Structure 1
């Protein structure tokens, strides 16, 4: 089987174990885009490009119409802790 096939089978096994309540699960505290933005003293128009997204897409996060997931949540946590570093890196 290919490397991709092996990875897919392993991932499905992990998903099944997680659904059964077995194995480790990585849980992160939810992050509020609005709170992060306000703490960093940014407008929505300034925050959207830092997140690599459109202003309308960012607004949907703050309005609860879209859910923040994966890498975006991680980037929000970095902005929450080190907003100036992110601005320098992405600015």
Structure 2
């Protein structure tokens, strides 16, 4: 039995985490490493997918724009960029 794919009102297939809201806008939901839920919104599916790709790129490079950061934690993250290098 083949699984039925979710589609929006324009009959486009939605990826995992993508939803079309009742007002016609789109939402992407995900969980971070700590299990905290996050959402981003966009008017069109193309805008949403651009935001998703920038989120993925930022998560790979280690940039966290959602977190309030202090100078102390920034200096620590800059000094020890990865746990692999800390002794």
The interval holding the TM-score normalised by the smaller chain is under 0.3
Greater RCO, 1 or 2 (C-alpha within 8 Å, sep 6+): 1
Q: TM-score, normalised by structure 1?
A: 0.22
More helix as a share of residues: 1
Q: TM-score, normalised by structure 2?
A: 0.23
